[in-house]
Structure 1
């Protein structure tokens, strides 16, 4: 009987020790995550801070920290919006739109961001109309430049077998007279999403 009591006591001690170690390890892991959340919050990396605090809801004041972070995100998104940084503002607003207490405010701000983006794009394209293609111009701007969309875009036969930095597209603008005779050819090359080198213009004299 005495031996059984000793055995039970040993089992109790061992189980208690294992349980304590498990709780201790869990606490330490949560504390580690909480510390990271605090660090990211201090660095104003709100999205990562939210992710860390969300992992340990209910631990210490993590729930309070989550609400604090959302409040800071809303404030920052408004500042970014007013500064014209529409992309970064949009990233924060997309997250806030999923939070019930910020949903309406975030959606209103996102609508404003979309309107501003459309306005900036229209203004940019208006300016591009008076700009001829130049070395370094983004390929996405070419169609809206003074040359308009190209007549043709040609690629080498083995274009897709080349590495990205060696893939070159050849843009051509061909002007013809009323009889279909070529009077002018404008050309440029595009590599890695931008005009590569100076565009060229060749004029052809057509006799009457």
Structure 2
């Protein structure tokens, strides 16, 4: 006999509806139970990541900076100073005792005030060569340079090695003779015994090596 026998048709329909609802509810509950169990099992089976410990730092992704004192490119080589070794430089302009340097009077030309003041000392010129008129030519050169020539003659009392201006040491003749010698490319020396007692003034004895200023 059926469960719905004896019931009217409306009741049978209501009972079938209730049974259907119950079946659907049961199916939904079973599916939910199965889904919840899988999620719980999955969560339980997946191990948790280990806790971070001090010192487990993440390695840097960018390259480390260059250490101090290590530039990225080598420094340029320093330029050596343009220093001049001692003793190899050019002589200082106007240095005394170096004829021909800038600042020095050229042969036959008067110098500064100090040099001009020496030219009051008189000069006597003597020829000790075989060149006729050499003493006169030298005397004319001296006069053009501002010197006072008081005598021109020959010197036959010996052989003088080269043209020289002679002076008495410790007198004004010394500075004058040295200046005259510098201007005309001669030597300057103290008087030798043969002319030691001659009159005051610079004594110039010219020889074959004398050349007028500007002439070779």
Give the structure-1-normalised TM-score. 0.20
Point out which structure has higher relative CO (alpha carbons under 8 A, 6+ apart): 2
Q: Which has a greater percent of helix?
A: 1
